[in-house]
Copies of this chain bind each other. A is one copy, B any other.
Amino acid sequence: MAGRTTGRTPTLEDVARVAGVSRATVSRVVNGIRNVDQDIQEAVRRAIEKTGYAPNRAARSLVTRRAGAVALVVSGAGGHVFGDPFFGRVADGVVDFLRGHGVHPLLMLADTDAARDDILAHLREGGTDGALLVSTHPDDLLTSMVAVAGLPAVVFARTLQRLSYVDVENEVGGALAARHLLSRGCRNLATISGPLDVRTSNERLAGFRVEAGETPTVAGNFTVASGEEAMTTLLAGHPNVDGVFAANDLMAQGALAVLQSTGRSVPTDVAVVGFDDSSAALACRPKLTTVRQPVEDMGAAMAELLLARIQDPSLPPASRIFEPQLVIRDSA
């Protein structure tokens, strides 16, 4: 900072001149390479301080062929992706892991074809060293997209492609919910599933049925409003329901509202179990008993898998499966 004499931003060359050594030596010191005399290291460090030198990322990337950044590609929720707490949690986990490694994620929204082309172009231009793909509807578009670019990538949710992925045992989660409802004495169960074209939804439902058998089911679309509608429909056909499992917390929250407005008390009359353990679960009254999905950890795992793959591209695709966990609160 201090003592800068020139107008240009200082380069390796400037530091070298001040320290009385060669560019290469300065580069070595900057990059923490051994084999540099202690005294010289000290002199270089002083020169760096004096000149206010900071390495130029573009120049470095050009020769190392490393961008030092990864893409966090998201899609779903109709554009307002980050308003959705799910993506936010993933992002938190990703950021938290990455920053320990001096890497930052580049946020990209893949909601239209144009956007996808744009992202693809960016990846092909070497703007990032790899990609993290997160989508509520894991479009094949999205994954194939990266396959084309030939970059390391990690997907949230199982994938058939030769890509790494991170997922949660959704069936186990559904089963957890069913067992809990059953064990508290509920005998007339019903479920509000997610959209049936989403694998995750089906898995949660399947796991639930393994334990609870076939039960009345209405599909929602993961929103509070759809949870309300579903619950209303369910109640119309089965007024004596005493336990409901919703495939996510938002729909559970909607169910809660309908239940209460029809004079039923939760959990006394009807027990409700959600899925996710999002902030909505805690904001609800009664607080939601729910199946926790360790989303932040999963985001972190994605980042970890990706970084490993970037460091050693010869590594085969890997995966990490997480176990969901029942969090018992007040709604069941």
Contact = CB atoms under 8 A, between A and B. Distances in A.
A124 B9 CA distance: 10
Instruction: Kindly report how many copies of this chain are found in the complex they form together.
Output: 2
Interface string A48-81: 0000001111110110010111011000000111
A58 B92 contact: no
A250 interface: yes
Is chain A's interface secondary structure helix, strand, loop, or mixed overall? helix
Contacts of A285: 256-257, 260-261
A253 B280 CA distance: 11
Contacts of A161: none
Interface in A96-153: 96, 99, 102, 104-109, 115, 118, 121-122, 124-127
Contact of A224 (B107, B257, B283): B283
A253 B246 CA distance: 22
B56 A283 contact: no
Given A115-B99, A125-B55, A283 B253 contact: yes
A233 interface: no
Contacts of A245: none
Contacts of A81: 88, 92, 95
Contacts of A59: 58, 62
Interface in A247-268: 250, 253, 256-257, 260-261
Contact of A54 (B109, B124, B253, B256): B124
B121 A54 contact: yes
Contacts of A42: none
A34 B122 CA distance: 24
A199 B45 CA distance: 41
12 contacts: A54-B125, A57-B125, A68-B127, A81-B88, A82-B95, A83-B88, A83-B92, A87-B88, A95-B107, A102-B118, A105-B107, A250-B283
Interface of A: 54-59, 61-62, 65, 67-69, 71-72, 79-85, 87-89, 91-92, 95-96, 99, 102, 104-109, 115, 118, 121-122, 124-127, 224, 250, 253, 256-257, 260-261, 279-280, 282-283, 285, 296
